[in-house]
């Protein structure tokens, strides 16, 4: 289930290898967030999304808290970790 959700909702921006499409800020590979087995930051960003504006960089990630159930968010989190 986690892989299926990642394919449909995450890979377009984060790519299968986790490099991140928009900016290096969107890189999952090597990120503290996805290397924390408790998933605290990961769940937080999935629930609320992110809107980063720093210098010339503008990077947006939509929130997923309303689109997915707790079980689905847990599945995609486990997949990413
Ligand atoms: C529209 C593009 C987009 C989609 C779709 C998207 N993200 Fe993101 N994501 C981003 C961007 C851009 C950032 C960087 C935001 C920041 O640094 O403030 C980010 C940041 C993250 C981070 C934090 C990375 C770090 O360095 O701590 C995680 C984890 C993450 N996304 C997971 C996901 C997952 C899982 C999905 C699918 C459910 C998803 N994202 C869907 C664009 C996207």
Could you please report the per-residue DSSP string of 25-36? GG--TT-TGGG-
| CATH code: domain of residue 29 | 1.10.760
pLDDT digits (tens, 9 = 90+) for 30-64: 899 999 999 999 999 999 999 988 888 888 999 99
pLDDT in tens, 7-36: 999 999 999 998 888 778 889 988 999 999
Q: Which residues constitute the domain of residue 63?
A: 2-80
- In the chain, the number of structural domains is 1
Query: What angle separates helix 70-80 from helix 40-48, to the nearest 10 degrees?
Result: 130
Pocket test for ligand 1, best of 14, 22, 67, 69 (most atoms within 8 A of CB): 14
Q: Is the dihedral of CA 10, 76, 29, 50 positive or negative?
A: positive
| CB-facing half-sphere around the CA of 46: CA atoms within 13 A | 25
Protein residue with least CA distance to atom 41, ligand 1: 10
- Ligand 1 pocket residue status of 25, Cβ below 6 Å: yes
């Amino acid at each position: 289930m986690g892989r299926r959700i990642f394919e449909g909702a995450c890979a377009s921006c984060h790519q299968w290898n986790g490099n991140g499409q928009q900016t290096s800020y969107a890189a999952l590979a090597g990120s503290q967030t996805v290397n924390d087995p408790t998933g605290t930051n990961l769940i937080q960003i999935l629930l609320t999304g992110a809107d980063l504006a720093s210098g010339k960089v503008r990077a947006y990630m939509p929130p997923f808290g309303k689109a997915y159930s707790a079980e689905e968010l847990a599945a995609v989190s486990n997949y990413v970790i």
